[in-house]
Structure 1
Amino acid sequence: MLLRFRVANVRSLRDEQELSFVVPEGDEGRGSRGLTLSDGKELSLYPVLGIFGANASGKSNVITALKRMRDAVLNSYAAWTSYDGIPRDEFALDPRAAEENTFYEADIVLADGVRWTYGFELGARRVESEWLFAYPKGRRQVWFDRDASREQVYEFPGGRLQDRALLARITRPDSLLLTRAADDAHPQLTPVYDWFRSNLWDITPEAERPQREAYTAQRLLESATTRRRIEELLRVADLGIAGAEVVREPGRAPVVRLRHSGGGAEAVPLDWQAESFGTRSWFALIGPLLLALDTGAVLLVDELDASLHSRFAAEVVRLFQTPWANPKGAQLVFTAHDPSLFRNPSGRRLLQPGQLWLTEKDERGATELFPISDWEPTEEADLMTSYLEGSYGGVPRVSEGQVVRRLLAVDTAAEAGTETEEG
């Protein structure tokens, strides 16, 4: 499971920002679930975090940063050799950022309950630092500490790591030691690497949809149980859907057809291109959604409400929030614009203040990320109304009618200029 993620100098995330699933002290039990660590300590975590904010405030950059850390862990050994330097995408609005390191760190818990902290800093052409800590008995164990500015770049306190001298010798300056170790199936480090390989799956509703449609279609063929689960989710999303089928034709890719019924007539399969954008987007989301729930993975969904009605976006949240539907502790991080996801139609909170994170840009154009719980709202506070009123920040700084007035001013000035030229 993911406990916390920290990042700095990636896109608009100029200064260090943190995203945390850990429930703030005193809020335990509200929308959270317990996790028993290897030292016996109980930790309360949220299964879902939602990131909201104005357009261009940096919401998607948080998702991007999580994905970039994953990509670095998986690909630094093989793929980075083809780059002219290390791919970083540092903050663009300050020339000094190009000379500063890009920072990533994640706190994770593996299946055995041991908490690990893994992080690294990237320069333009080398890994400037890298570290791995474990907490099997509650106290920090340093497994390795790398600092490119030291004469002895690698330190391995306690001698816990096997083949440490070999790893130090064969790891390139522009590659992560964790990636290099996993490439050789290192028995101690590969489980940490495998966590990144099996988590932080990124979904953007309007991108790579054909691949996700194909994946969901593939899952339809897995078993009768999986088919029933997918068909049930489709029925919830679209009135009239009676089932789904995958048509295989020689020499052609499998084709999905959803069977529709109406007016008591027999269900009729429609051509896939005739389905609505919303239905296709939901179908494409179902496959990765079920995979995350089945494996207990961390799923990243950018703009959850972009192609789904807010009611359906809320149902996705509930799938992860409900223990019986999410017995393996899968986690969801999503971005959205629609503040109706703050609460149920009944007015009760769908997400707690610690699950609602906001992004806002400062005067430098740098993103600040913070939870609504920082404002310590009361139990009775209407989070959605307060958010829309700007009580917590994270909303566009646009007054009512401002866009109309700005456009009118431009048109008026243009007309005046034309009259002057004609005169």
Structure 2
Amino acid sequence: MLLQFSFKNFRSFKDEAILNLTVKKNKGDAADDFFSFGDESVLPVTAVYGANASGKSNLYQAFAYMSNYVIFSFSYGDEKDNSETYAPTPFVFDSESAKEDSSFEVIFSIPKDETEIVYNYGFCLNKTGITEEWLNKKDKESEDYSLVFYRGGDQNELDLSGIPENSQQNIKVALEEQVLIVSLGAKLKINECKEIRNWFLVNRFTDFSSPVTDMLLTRSLPDNFIESREEQKSVVNFLASFDRHIEDFKIEEVAEYNGSKAYKICILYKINNSNDMAEIPLSAESAGTLKMLSLYHELKDVLEKGSVLFIDELNARLHPLLVRNILITFINPKTNINHAQLVFTAHDTWQLDNHVLKKEEVWFVEKDKDGKSQLYSLFDFSDVDDFDQDDYLLGKFGAIPELSRMEFNKCV
């Protein structure tokens, strides 16, 4: 479970932003409102609202950047210039930020780990490489973290005391300025490093705000879809949750292209007052149906693994009731038995009206006059007990666009 994510000096965020997904347990809380973890509750769903260009997508991009660096940095090195590959994008609207480090930190636990060990992992870097990296952990009985490793600081320290002695020398020999210890350690089969790397590896990202990504997603199929009737039936059940007329798929092999088989795929729909089926090719399906088909694998995967799904612009081309159904899937302990989490950005303010999201689960991003994005929670408004979309749209919580009359120059 993701307990907290923080970052600094990345894109439109100059100052530290902290997304805290934990709240202290209250005696009045229903047992199934949130996930129970020690003396805290953890949010199954986190919604992030804000104006266009406020920086909502940069929150998504910050976690995606951190994840990619952890997963791939073992391949970065100083033998050739990889600066374009790994360098972060710092805040650009002042002269100092470009010279300063960007930082990323997570607090989390491994899915299905009954010992409930909490890890605190993070790193700082600039265009030349890693300047600081740390990993600490504690069990559910402890208040303080114990050190696994630390690198960086003014003395360029390297403390590997929490890593097995027989692996420490291998890290010292192979570690390069651009490479993370976690990434290298996972490659060297050090168990604790693999645990951390794998946590990032199973989290998933879907960017519906990107036209290119959106196009690719709506043209993708679930794993083993062509070969497995069981998988096809599972997809039918999923799609039928919002369109009861969907009955099955029809798949025909039509040709081979460059040695790869090609298929024509149709969705079969029930015809009223008949036993016949209507066939509609996937290429002719609605954008919403294709988007839900692309979400099938993401949702199934994170719900089975208990990982985290980040979606940018969840509401794009999806009906608000469909979005609500997705949220309920994560909130309901009967459908989310492995404590998967959903973090999403949206402009769909109706979700603030339907009493699915609780106060703790609503976050905002607002950009100030200096171009700096700020992240804050609805929970910070201590005087707000009940809320709806009108409260947000009227500006009570900020994070809305400042509008003026649209004017256009006349062509002469």
> Aligned residue pairs: how many?
397
Letter matched to residue 375 of structure 2? L
Alignment of 1:322-361 (within 5 A): 322-344=332-354, 349-361=355-367
Q: 1:66 to 1:159 in 2, by over 3 A?
A: closer
Contact 2:24 2:39 in 1 (8 A): no
**Given the superposition, is the C-alpha separation of residues 246 and 214 from structure 1 closer, same or farther in structure 2, using an over 3 Å criterion?**
farther
Change (3 A) 1:272 1:79: farther
Q: Aligned runs of 1:49-68 on 2, under 5 Å?
A: 49-68=46-65
Contact 1:244 1:257 in 2 (8 A): yes
2 CA distance for matches of 1:179 and 1:167?
A: 11
Mapped pair 1:98 → 2:98: yes
Give the alignment partner of residue 264 of structure 1, picking from 273, 281, 285.
273
In the aligned structure 2, how far is the partner of 1:288 from the partner of 1:371? Answer: 26
Q: Give the Cα–Cα distance (whole angstroms) in 1 for the partners of residues 162 and 303 of structure 2.
A: 38
What does the per-residue CA deviation read over 1:198-224, in whole Å, with 9 as the maximum and x for residues that have no partner?
Answer: 114334364434654565443545755
Deviates more, 1:108-117 or 1:53-62: 108-117
Deviation of the 1:159 alpha carbon: 6.7
Range 77-86 or range 113-122, more displaced = 77-86
Does the 8 Å contact 1:234/1:283 carry over to 2?
yes
Taking the aligned partners of 1:246 and 1:42, their CA distance within structure 2 comes to: 51
- After alignment, is 135-144 or 325-334 more displaced? 135-144
Structure-1 residue corresponding to 2:108: 108
Equivalent in the alignment of 2:149 = 144
Pick which of 354-363 and 253-262 moved more: 253-262
Q: Which amino acid aligns with 1:52?
A: Y
1:181 equivalent to 2:205? Answer no
RMSD: 2.4
Q: 2:122 aligns with which of 99, 119, 124?
A: 119
Q: Could you say which residue in structure 1 is the equivalent of 2:195?
A: 191
Q: How many Å separate the matches in 1 of 2:18 and 2:272? A: 53
Aligned-pair CA distance for 1:291 = 1.3
Does the 8 Å CA contact 2:77/2:176 hold for their aligned counterparts? Answer: no
Q: CA deviation at 1:232?
A: 2.1
- Output the CA distance in 1 between the equivalents of 2:163 and 2:291: 51
8 A contact 1:48–1:321 mirrored in 2: yes
CA contact (8 A) 1:143 1:157 kept: yes
- Residue type matched to 1:392 in 2? F
1:32 aligns with 2:54: no
Matching of residue 318 in structure 1 with residue 328 in structure 2: yes
SS at match of 1:122: strand
Q: What is the TM-score with the length of structure 1 in the denominator?
A: 0.87
Structure 1 residues 199-348: aligned runs within 5 Å: 199-204=203-208, 206-209=211-214, 211-213=216-218, 215-221=220-226, 223-238=228-243, 240-251=245-256, 252-265=261-274, 266-344=276-354
Q: Provide the rounded CA distance (Å) in 1 between the counterparts of 2:217 and 2:305.
A: 17
Tell whether the 8 Å contact from 2:183 to 2:193 is kept in structure 1 after alignment. no
Q: Displacement, 1:135?
A: 0.5
* Distance of 2:170 and 2:6 partners within structure 1: 30
Please state whether the residue corresponding to 1:337 is helix, strand or coil. Answer: coil
Mean Cα displacement is larger for which, 319-328 or 267-276?
267-276
Asked if 2 retains the 8 angstrom alpha-carbon contact of 1:241 and 1:259, the reply is yes
Query: Is the contact made by 1:70 and 1:200 (CA closer than 8 Å) also made in structure 2?
Result: no
Q: Tell me the SS of whatever aligns to 1:253.
A: strand
Q: Distance in 2 between matches of 1:162 and 1:32?
A: 45
Match of 2:398 in 1: 393
Q: Which moved more, 1:79-88 or 1:105-114?
A: 79-88
The question of whether the paired residues in 1 share the 8 Å contact of 2:76 and 2:178 is answered with no
> Secondary structure of 1:142's partner?
strand
Greater share of helix residues, 1 or 2? 1
- The 2-side partners of 1:259 and 1:302 are apart by 31
How big is the shift at 1:160?
6.1
Deviation at 1:158, TM superposition (A): 6.2
Question: What amino acid is the match of 1:299?
Answer: L
CA distance in 2, matches of 1:222, 1:375: 52
> Distance between the aligned counterparts of 2:307 and 2:337, measured in 1?
12
Where does the alignment leave 5 or more consecutive residues of structure 1 unmatched? 419-423
Contact 2:47 2:346 in 1 (8 A): yes
Q: Once the 2 structures are TM-superposed, how far is the Cα of residue 354 of structure 1 from its aligned partner?
A: 1.0
Q: Is the 8 Å Cα contact of residues 34 and 42 (structure 1) preserved in structure 2?
A: no
Determine helix, strand or coil for the equivalent of 1:116.
strand
**Aligned match for 1:48, one of 35, 45, 50:** 45
- Give the distance between the partners of 1:382 and 1:84, measured in 2 at CA: 46
In structure 2, how many angstroms separate the alpha carbons of the residues matched to 1:309 and 1:144?
Answer: 47
Partner amino acid, structure 1, of 2:124: E
Q: Give 1:421's aligned residue.
A: none
In terms of mean alpha carbon deviation, does 236-245 or 51-60 score higher?
A: 236-245
CA contact (8 A) 1:103 1:120 kept: yes
Q: How does 1:12-23 map to 2 (within 5 A)?
A: 12-23=12-23
Q: After superposition, give the CA deviation of every residue in 1:357-386 in whole Å (9 maximum; x if it has no partner).
A: 10000121011011101002443x233221
| Structure 1 residue 236, shift from structure 2 partner | 2.9
Aligned to 1:189, what secondary structure does the other structure show?
A: helix
- How far apart, in 1, do the equivalents of 2:267 and 2:160 lie? 57
Amino acid in the other structure paired with 1:12: S
Which segment is superposed worse, 166-175 or 95-104?
A: 166-175
Whether contact under 8 Å (1:9, 1:16) holds in the other structure is: yes
In 1: Cα distance, 2:253 partner to 2:352 partner: 43
In structure 1, distance between residues paired with 2:21 and 2:320: 23
Given that 1:216 and 1:286 are in contact with CA atoms closer than 8 Å, whether structure 2 keeps it comes out as no
Q: In structure 2, what residue type is equivalent to 1:364?
A: D
Aligned 8 A contact 2:149 2:162 in 1: no
**Does the C-alpha gap of structure 1 residues 209 and 96 become closer, same or farther in structure 2, counting only changes over 3 Å?**
same
